[in-house]
Amino acid sequence: MKHFLLAAAACAVTLSVPTFAADPSFSGFWKLEGDFATLKTIDGKIPPMNPEARKRYNASVALRKQGKPVPTDTVQKCWPHGLPRLLLAPYPIEVLQDAKQITFLHEAHHMPRLVYLGEKLPALDTLDNNYMGFSVGNWDKDTLVIDTAGFNDITTLDKAGIPHSEALVLQERVRLTDNGQTLEDVITVTDPETFTKPWKARISFKKMPNDYWLKEMVCTDKNPDAA
Amino acid sequence: MMLKSTPLLSAALALALAVPAVSYSQERGVSYKPAPPLPKPVYREQRSSMENKRDLNGVWFIRDYNRRFRTPVDTLPPFTPYGKAEFDKRVKAETDGKPYADASTYCWPHGIPRVMNSPYPIQIIQTPGKITIVHEVAHNIRQIHMDQKMPDKVPTSFLGYSVAHWDGDVLVIETKGTDTRTWIDEEGIIHSDQLYTIERLRKTENGENLENEVTMMDPVFFTRPWVKKINYAWRPDLRISEYVCEENNRNAPQAGVTVAK
């Protein structure tokens, strides 16, 4: 009996990984559905760029059409994708979740993205300008609302080359659909220096088998996106 | 049997102790220099799970960072002649101002055990069947399989293939398959494809310290297993920041030699 109790105690310790029944669990492996090299609005349009941004976008698209390297493409140089471009990379994502933090581990460039739960986004002028910005998440019923800001202006929102400024703010509404087999992410893009109005895009991820294991993808060793 | 202390015996003992090759079992028992003091414990109210010695979740920061790996008695590792020659070559190249480029210089993942010895925070995340360590340095993500046997053959990768299990309150991590382009330390201790490391991690000092006793085995480079201890302070006040090696890499190598920009 004593041994049994000890074994039970040992098991309890081993299994004491926090789980929170109240919030849906996004834990597991996910892979983007569809091709989002060119990100469009929910109704299938090119985002509402101002004339200056549109000029930069068109130049990038033209270079790509000719198969030429795009000097403004940071991913060709193995620099981080930024957002939402990292979400659009066709490689698996692992989600680790607890009550305080949701961690997205991207196989692409082995990039982590840490989302702090239950916090407010600090004022834009207090944030550093990073590739991946700073993300906070809050539950709105079964939807996780992720707010991200504090970006640098050297990444593009997609591979085609939608530019943005440091004023970029993203709001993602992430929820499970399709009986938990799909993770839907509706992204609202706000950047008054680049777009004439906020716009929305919708992407989704398909659940992968739980026994997947993230591969070690090292861009500076083998860059799949090299021009 | 009792031995009477004689001047001859004392001399013999002194001679034996003077021989630099300390045995592995002696080495493991040696008490290390104490780590630098812990940061002020201003986070006590956040210590919800510190009593659980198997809960390693959270952000940790190295306390006794040193770019050089040495044994507990502060000697060089027990090198084979080949291992010593390769080490000397790297130390000399650095002294001559033309250091060899290692994996980190190329912005590749840093290898095991090297990545566990960086002056940047790490975050340990325990989930069922798995331990993930998110390292600030060069956005290394280390993945460790819990309660699995080390396969006979493992694929080669920069961070190797790690399996772990609990031995009481000690997390024992075994790693094989670490890419030979990584180094063990930053000075010039390198390894072959036979490198096998065993890390023994445990919480000490009321859960505010995480001790990692690393044993390294590699018959090509070392004559016997040897150990190095690393201590990390629990730092719930820290978060993992963005670290981008790839942009304007200060030390981008040319033809295998590090070039300072």
From B54, B141, B247, residue closest to A105, measured CB to CB: B141
Cross-chain Cβ contact A220/B125 below 8 Å: no
Of the candidates B134, B157, B247, the beta carbon closest to that of A112 is on B134
- The three-class DSSP label of residue A69 is coil
Write out chain B residues lying below 8 Å of A15, CB-based. Answer: 128
Give CA–CA dist A221/B178, Å, rounded: 15
Residue A131 has its nearest CB partner, among B57, B159, B242, at B242
Give residue B38's pLDDT band: very low, low, confident or very high (50, 70, 90). Answer: confident
Reported as a single tens digit per residue, the pLDDT across B93-118 is 999 999 999 898 899 999 999 999 99
Divide the 227 residues of chain A into consecutive groups of 10 and give the mean pLDDT of each group. 41 42 85 95 97 97 92 89 96 95 96 96 93 97 97 96 97 97 98 98 97 92 72
Please give the pLDDT value at position B35: 80
- What pLDDT digit, counting tens, does each position of A136-164 carry? 999 999 999 999 999 999 999 999 999 99
Q: Which residue of A has its CA nearest to B53?
A: A13
Give yes or no for residue B170 having a pLDDT over 80: yes
Q: Residue B235 is which amino acid?
A: R
* Distance between A31 CA and the closest CA of chain B, angstroms: 19
Which chain B positions have a beta carbon within 8 Å of A96's beta carbon? 125, 127, 132
Q: State pLDDT tens for residues B202-212.
A: 999 888 899 99
Token pair recorded at residue B121:
């925070």
> Mean pLDDT, to the nearest integer, of B147-168?
96
Query: By the 8 A CB rule, do A146 and A154 touch?
Result: no
Angle CA(A202)–CA(A206)–CA(A209) in degrees, nearest 5?
A: 160
Residue pair A98/A16 in contact (Cβ under 8 Å)? The answer is: no
Evaluate if residue B42 carries a pLDDT over 70: no
Q: pLDDT-based confidence at B50, cuts 50/70/90?
A: low
The verdict on ipTM greater than 0.90 is no
Phi-psi region at A107: left, alpha or beta (left = phi > 0; alpha = psi -120 to 50): alpha
Taking one residue from A and the other from B, the number of pairs with CB-CB distance under 8 angstroms is 72
Write the class of the CATH domain A18-207: mainly beta
Torsion of CA A36, A37, A40, A45, to 10 degrees: -120
Q: What domains appear along chain B, each with residue ranges and CATH number?
A: 52-258 (2.40.128.20)
Distance from CA of B145 to the nearest CA of A (A): 10
Pairwise CA distance, residues A91 & A215, whole Å: 10
DSSP string, B9-49: HHHHHHHHHHSS---HHHHHHSPPPPPPPPPP-TTGGG-TT
pLDDT in tens, B226-255: 999 999 999 988 999 999 998 876 666 666
Q: Do B159 and A96 touch (CB under 8 A)?
A: no
Closest CA to B171 of B130, B218, B134, B135: B130
